[in-house]
Structure 1
Amino acid sequence: MKTWILIAAPVALGLAGVGAWLTMRDAPQGALDPAIPVMPVTVDIAQGEALYARSCAACHGANLEAQPDWRTPDAEGRLPAPPHDETGHTWHHPDRVLFQYTKLGGREALALQGVEFDSGMPAFGDVLTHREIWNILAYIQSTWPERERAMQAERTAADLANGGT
């Protein structure tokens, strides 16, 4: 009987943790710790595509392809908008970082990580709702090949396991 309790306790705690995580994912955005945003389970990729076209494509390209010479700083020293397809580095970042970068803008999001950088990425937190930001990010992720999606999902899981640090 004691063996069953020793095995069942960690299993029960693990299931409770998964349940709490799933509950957090579906909670209203205001209920989440804004420092550790989590993509909702349900997203609207079609809306994300339309919002991307309206809010992001002018800089990042209609096909997520980036501005020309995106690795070379412009006259002001800023890097042009990078691609969001698999050729860029968007998939290298966990969901939390992508959300913060979009909501807060590049400079502020990087400052949260202790990095001073003059990013040209504007903040969209006053223009888009949390749900709209997630829909855009879900659309972008939906265009990546399976390998990049899997790697990005692993980075997001590791980030959540570390409490978003």
Structure 2
Amino acid sequence: MEKFDFVEMKVPAKAEYVGVIRLSISGIANRMGFSYEDIEDLKVAISEAITNTVTHAYNEKDEGEVTIGFGIYEDRLEIMVADHGGSFDLNKIKDDIGPYKNTESVESLREGGFGLFLINALMDKVEISNNYGVIVLMTKYLSEAEVGFDDDQISTTQ
């Protein structure tokens, strides 16, 4: 079993909390050694994911929570954004999550089509689950050389 640290945050599903999460991801990514450009990409991607949730998951009278999880590995950062206030079991979620495909109907992703397209462009891997509300799992690798097409990446850096 691969070792990782897990940081979980819950914030009200309100636009004004996006900045708090951007600061958090910036701090975590900076500590991990991500480049300035990668940190900016991560901030945009998480903003898109949270904004999509805030805009589409709740109506005005029912403001819920957004749960954000950071899986901090040696070679990558995995970020989960869920439109519900429950806690994550990272491994359980990863077992039944699938890759985001541009062909998926935009409606099934709560009109978040453009946001997801942008997230997909900025991150190394994007996966979506509609099983417990919408969960977006985004992965960014520390080194470009470590990006693979499945879960069997072999690091080319020593």
Q: TM-score over 0.5 for the alignment?
A: no
Looking at secondary structure, tell me which structure has more helix per residue.
1
With normalisation by structure 1, the TM-score equals 0.28
Structure whose CA Rg is larger: 1
With normalisation by structure 2, the TM-score equals 0.29
